[in-house]
Amino acid sequence: MGEELHSRKRDHIRICLEKDVEFKKKTTWLEYVELIHNPLPEVDFEEIRIEAEFLGRRFDYPLIIEGMTGGLPEGYSINKNLAEAALELNIPVGVGSQRAGIYNESLRSTYRIMRDISPSIFIIGNIGATQLVREGVELAEKAVEMIEADALAIHVNSLQELVQPKGTTTFKGVMKAIEKVVERLSVPVIVKEVGCGIPKETGRSLEAIGVKAIDVAGAGGTNWTLIEKIRAEESGEMEKKLLGEIFLEWGIPTAASILEISSTVEIEVVGSGGIRTGLDIAKILALGAEMAGMAKPLLRPALESKEAILDYLKKVFLELRAAMYLTGCRNIDELKNTGKILVGPLLEWCRQRGLRI
């Protein structure tokens, strides 16, 4: 199992770096959100503040570096660079699925390095929902303990597992398994998708069992069906490859998923899946998310250095400030209440789904 997991994680990084693995037809639908231009903004660009609050902690920027790796040697330096950047920026950072580290002690340092950088970084642990179903709540406890996590993300990835060679499709009992984790852990639990989004019905159920945040990871960014389809093709598993092809564009676009959750439940929302610019972040906060989440754009910089990550994010935060300046918002609270217009399929989605907008 260890070797298999190892090479899968390595494939993911390689394919993300070598191929275009974004959704091709479906987008985030953020292009159907217009923020209203304010030609007389009563604000100086320099006074714009972008601090944000999430899960009871104050962060300097409304962005989470989403969990990507750990469990293989090259994960060590990626996670080290990500954690150093997160420390410098005072933003949360996630590790990738911790299963490999739970079963193989020699791989633990590839996750633990994040905590070793500093006790003050807000680190989000990561475990798969199907693993919880099979292996129980102790798995979640071990994941938190391994990195002294400040929160635990449980990833739900039914389509990825379906297309993945040797994927695990035993989801029955998943809600109960998550509930047990919420009851047992002393840190908040986040439930996250990986690119198919989360609808309001699921949001309500998760709120009812005490989940503290939902990370939508909607469609429009990194496409895990495509990545697994490529892996299936490479390993000659034609049935999986063909299945992947049919469901390549499956999923709730990020903008729609944020509205599904933010208009229905009180728990905090992370807007992720295809967030690529500061303008994207401005739009998702205006749609009701507390934080944005970004994964793949940070992978290449993370292979390089902390400085490369900081350079990339400097540009993103400048764009966010620019969007706030142009809408006359001095801080994130004002941005959340700024005027916006929804058009096209996004508006139609909201109408048919009865979402309050």
188 binds ligand FMN (CB under 6 A): no
- Least distance from C-beta 130 to ligand FMN, angstroms? 12
Choose between 9 and 43: whose C-beta lies nearer to ligand FMN: 9
The contact pattern for ligand FMN, residues 112-151, with x = CB under 6 A and - = no contact, is --------------x-------------------------
The crossing angle, in degrees rounded to 10, of helices 306-326 and 73-89 is: 40
Name 54's bridge partners.
Answer: 57
- Least distance from C-beta 21 to ligand FMN, angstroms? 8
155 binds ligand FMN (CB under 6 A): yes
Question: What is the b/e burial string over 11-30, where b = at least 16 CB atoms within 10 angstroms of the residue's CB?
Answer: bbbebbeeeebbbeebbbbb
The contact pattern for ligand FMN, residues 262-301, with x = CB under 6 A and - = no contact, is ----------xxxx------------------xxx--x--
Residue of this chain nearest to ligand FMN (CB atom): 221
12 binds ligand FMN (CB under 6 A): yes
Helix/strand/coil (H/E/C) assignment for every residue in 234-302: HCCCHHHHHHHHHCCCCCCEHHHHHHHHHCCCCCEEEEECCCCCHHHHHHHHHCCCCEEEECHHHHHHH
The contact pattern for ligand FMN, residues 207-246, with x = CB under 6 A and - = no contact, is ----------x---xx------------------------
Helix/strand/coil (H/E/C) assignment for every residue in 60-81: CCCEEECCCCCCCHHHHHHHHH
The amino acid that residue 36 corresponds to is I
Residue 250, classified by CB atoms within 10 Å of its CB into exposed (0-12), middle (13-18) or buried (19+), is: middle
**Of residues 308-327, those binding ligand FMN (CB under 6 A):** none
Binding site for ligand FMN (CB under 6 A): 12-13, 16, 66-69, 96-97, 126, 153, 155, 192, 194-195, 217, 221-222, 272-275, 294-296, 299
